[in-house]
Amino acid sequence: MSDIAIRVEGLGKEYRIGAQQASYQTLRSTITDAFVAPVRRTRKLLSGQAYGAAGLDETIWALRNVSFEVRHGEVMGIIGRNGAGKSTLLKILSRITEPTEGYADVYGRVGSLLEVGTGFHPELTGRENIYLNGAILGMTREEINRKFDEIVAFAEVEKFIDTPVKHYSSGMGLRLGFAIAAHLEPEILVVDEVLAVGDIQFQRKCLNKMEDVAHQGRTVLFVSHNMAAVQALCLSCCLLDAGQLVMQGDTEQVIAAYLQNSATLMKLVPLADRTDRGGNGAMRFVGIGLYDKDGNPAAVGQTGQHLTIELEYTARETSPRAAVIGLIFSNIHGQRLFSCISRYSHAEPVALGGTGRVMCHIPRLPLVAGRYNIQLWNKIDEDVGDDISGAFSFEVVGGDFFGTGKIYTGSSGDTLFDHHWTFDAQSDR
Amino acid sequence: MTAATNTKPETAEVPSAQPSGLPSLPDYHLRIQPSKGWVSLKLRELWEYRELLYFLTWRDIKVRYKQTVLGAAWAIIQPFFTMVVFSLFFGGLAKVPSDDVPYPIFSYSALVPWTFFAYGLQQSSNSLVLSANLIKKIYFPRLVIPISAVISGVVDFVLAFSVLLVMQLVYGIVPSINVLFLPFFFLLALVTSLGTGMWFSAMNVQFRDVRYTIPFVTQFWMFATPIAYPSSLIENDLLRALYGLNPMTGVVEGFRWALINTDTAPGPLIVVSSLVAVGLLVSGMYYFRRMERTFADVV
């Protein structure tokens, strides 16, 4: 036997669009379909199989042409944005759903952990749920007996073990769920975003447990949005985007590519289709993006570092008109922090027309780590042309604002400004 | 597995690191690919998951009467009071014949297996939809779900059945040697319940119409089964055998024959019933397995 644990070859999964709104059909529509389908199927065959058929039924490929190999004992991370196909891939590998095309060879028993506490019954006690959930995850009764105490201790629910789970706090339920799953011992473990459970302390514990598992020589496929966790656990990584495998290799490189990739994707967030806007439409913002000081797309801002906010616009008139551009920054509570208004911070009058770009450069971003919203507005000939209050939201990561080599980690207030200190110590000699 | 990990030096140093939970199967190999057409029943895998079946059944039993005042008494109340109503209206007022057996025990002996069947049908039909969260998050042979739903009704059956025994004492009806065949008739009810349950549960995933059809089907089926009246009303032997197309006819008449000595000896009728029941089960399982591949996407 080779040392391959999982070999995925041209794997694809097609979903019918709209399946989410009406996941089950009515009998009538199916009976109608029964008469229509054969005709459709014939057409499908004539038009050259699946590719041609995609246009007939509205379908979407959640995963397409994905091939990779995982060796025994390897811990592989799978990263990608939401909707990239990560969960679909895990669902196929754990046999919850069938692929539409391609295949996967799996050498060894697969244990999957896509959710903690699957099948918990609120009326049953913690003890009973351990047995139930254990059985659902594929443990034998004897195995659960053996690990029972360990599970209870790990979940820190000793006192409540004979209390119905419906009386548990949500944190306790999650802890118990994770504790059971963490004691699963399959040869291949497939894990979806389950570390984001409970409080920070427990998350740390979960991560440690996962590290243990990873170092036991088990094969692990690990999906997470937590790059630190992926970095800590995985030597190699797969990057999925829009259902395709974009990159596979060394974790560091793949993560770097992912961050770059998501920044590229963020290059321009379209605003043209926004309807939650005011103004007379003399000028509309159609896109917004963030860039660092070298002009590279940035996924996030960093405290004290250069940030350029680029706006794309379309004006109704092609001839230049007097224009004012305004950006208002607010925190997640909707509290306005500061604004950048061209009328005041740009000395010369501005005239804009046709389509173009406006760049607002902030040399040292005065925001502390957190999430912020930007409101955009403009005035053309002193009339409001566009006004989008929640136009854009972005993340700021911590950095050195004061040039002291120290990263600001304070939590009093959202903004920073320049200041300095003098100290005049009086001492009796 | 063993051979593979040993080639890696870092794992070879840690012998305890061998996954110990599942039996080490060095050649365990599985190909995951789209299934086409009719698929195998994978009964062996079903057997491997018997512990899950046990736990799900246990859960259903345990949870069933939680937060009810009367608890397991419900298992007796339902068939018993149906019997009382039947005895008053059909036995008392309408004077429906009862094969020369006191009407109450005549109808109750039929209601006991019928209640088991109807309960199993109803529970299993809704079982997949109710277990949607499991189906979407974890793999196991899906057949476990409707099967456990049916089997969990056995406890209720035993309770209701014990009342039947008490009634036998009260009426002084001693079963003959025929009682030895009782397990067969019980099995027939079980198979019928499983078969229909599989059809309905798999259909229910696709068409929620099924859910609203079940109470109606159950009611209709109940009157199509000789519960309130004897099948001996039909005198033509051939027609009687055809009556066995409803497998519950065979079950009910079998129960009466085995327990209260009615003159409904198993003949062609029971053969027909058994064949139909097995047919239902096998076709139901194949239909279920065929639909299974889409459960997680559709449910």
| Residue in A closest to B4 by C-alpha | A3
Q: Are residues A170 and A275 in the same domain?
A: no
| Predicted confidence (pLDDT) per residue in A400-409, tens digit | 899 888 878 7
What is the rounded distance in angstroms from the CA atom of residue B6 to the CA atom of residue B202?
Answer: 45
Structure tokens at A175: 């802890």
Alpha-carbon gap, residue A108 to B27, rounded angstroms: 8
List chain B residues with CB under 8 Å of A216: 11, 14, 17, 19
User: In this structure, is residue A411 part of a structural domain?
Assistant: no
**Residues A219 and A304 grouped into a single domain:** no
Question: Does the distance separating the beta carbons of B63 and A104 come in below 8 Å?
Answer: no
Q: What are the residues whose beta carbons fall under 8 Å from the beta carbon of A142, sequence distance 6 or more? A: none
Residues 297-356 of A with CB under 8 A from B: none
**Residue A82 confidence (pLDDT) above 50:** yes
The CA distance from B192 to B117, in Å, is 8
What lies within 8 Å, CB to CB, of A83 at 6+ separation is: A242
Residue at a domain's end among A241, A262, A283: A262
pLDDT, tens digit, 9 for 90 and up, residues A200-219:
677 777 778 877 877 888 88
pTM over 0.90: no
Given an 8 Å threshold on Cβ–Cβ distance, is B31 in contact with A105?
A: yes
Same domain, A257 and A273: no
Partner B contacted by A91 (CB < 8 A): yes
Strand partners for A151: none
Same domain, A187 and A255: yes
Distance of CA B205 to the CA centre of its chain: 19
- Give the pLDDT score at A51: 39
Shortest alpha-carbon distance between residue A422 and chain B (Å): 57
Write the pLDDT tens digit of every residue in B102-139: 999 999 999 999 999 999 999 999 999 999 988 988 88
Domains contained in chain A, number: 2
The rounded percent of chain A whose pLDDT value lies above 70 is: 85
> Which residues span the domain enclosing A105?
4-262
Q: A23 contacts in B (CB within 8 Å)?
A: 298-299
Is residue A410 included in any domain, yes or no?
Answer: no
**A323-346, pLDDT tens digit by residue?**
999 999 998 777 899 999 999 999
Q: What is the DSSP letter of B87?
A: I
Q: What is the mean pLDDT of chain A?
A: 83
Is A155 contained in some domain?
Answer: yes
Low-confidence ranges of chain B (pLDDT < 70): 1-27, 264-266
* Helix (H) / strand (E) containing A363: none
ipTM: 0.79
- Best A1, A75, A220 member to test B by mutation, with max B CBs in 10 Å, is A1
Expressed in percent and rounded to 5, the helix, strand and coil fractions of chain A are 30, 35, 40
Last residue of a domain, one of A237, A262, A287: A262
- For tokens 């443990």, name the residue: A139
Final residue in a domain of this structure, among A201, A231, A262:
A262
Q: What is the pLDDT of residue A37?
A: 66
Domains contained in chain B, number: 1
Cβ distance A19 to B55 less than 8 Å, yes or no, reads: no
| Mean pLDDT within A40-55 | 48
* Burial environment of residue B132 by CB neighbours within 10 A (0 to 12, 13 to 18, 19 or more): middle
CA distance linking residue A362 with residue A160, whole number of Å: 54
Residue B258 lies in a domain: yes
Q: Specify the pairing of strand A110-113 against strand A59-71.
A: unpaired
Where does A290-415 have alpha helices with state H? 342-345
Predicted pLDDT at A183: 86
- Yes or no, beta carbons of B22 and A115 under 8 Å apart: no
